[in-house]
Amino acid sequence: MSIEQTVSSEEQKKPSRKEQILQSLATILEQSPGGRITTAGLAKHVGVSEAALYRHFPSKAKMFEELIEFIENSIFSRITRVMNEEIDAEKRCEKILGLILTFCERNPGITRILTGDPLAGETERLRKRVTQLFDRIETQLRQIIREMPIREHQKTSTDPVIAANLLLSLAEGRIGQYVRSDFERKPTTEWDAQWQVVREGLF
pLDDT digits (tens, 9 = 90+) for 74-108: 999 999 999 999 999 999 999 999 999 999 999 99
Structure confidence at residue 114 as a pLDDT band (50, 70, 90): very high
pLDDT at 74: 96
Q: Which among 29-43, 138-152, 186-200 has the top mean pLDDT?
A: 186-200
Structure confidence at residue 123 as a pLDDT band (50, 70, 90): confident
Domain tally for the chain?
1
Asked whether residue 124 is assigned to any structural domain, the reply reads yes
DSSP string, 100-153: HHHHHHH-HHHHHHHHTGGGTTS-HHHHHHHHHHHHHHHHHHHHHHHHHHHHHS
Asked whether residue 86 is assigned to any structural domain, the reply reads yes
Asked whether residue 53 is assigned to any structural domain, the reply reads no
Structure confidence at residue 7 as a pLDDT band (50, 70, 90): very low
Q: Are 112 and 135 in contact (CB under 8 A)?
A: no
Asked whether residue 40 is assigned to any structural domain, the reply reads no
Asked whether residue 41 is assigned to any structural domain, the reply reads no
Angle subtended at Cα 24 by Cα 110 and Cα 173, rounded to the nearest 5 degrees? 15
Residue 12 has pLDDT above 70, yes or no: no
The CATH code of the domain that includes 170 is: 1.10.357.10
Q: Please, what is the angle between helix 89-106 and helix 191-202, to 10°?
A: 150
Q: How far is CA 121 from CA 67, 125, 148, 162, 171, in A?
A: 17, 11, 42, 32, 25
pTM: 0.86
133: nearest Cα among 113, 118, 119, 148: 113
pLDDT at 11: 44
pLDDT at 89: 92
Asked whether residue 98 is assigned to any structural domain, the reply reads yes
Structural domain boundaries, residue 136: 60-202
Average pLDDT over residues 161-187: 96
Asked whether residue 10 is assigned to any structural domain, the reply reads no
Average pLDDT over residues 163-175: 96
pLDDT at 33: 74
H helices, E strands: number in the chain? 9, 0
Asked whether residue 92 is assigned to any structural domain, the reply reads yes
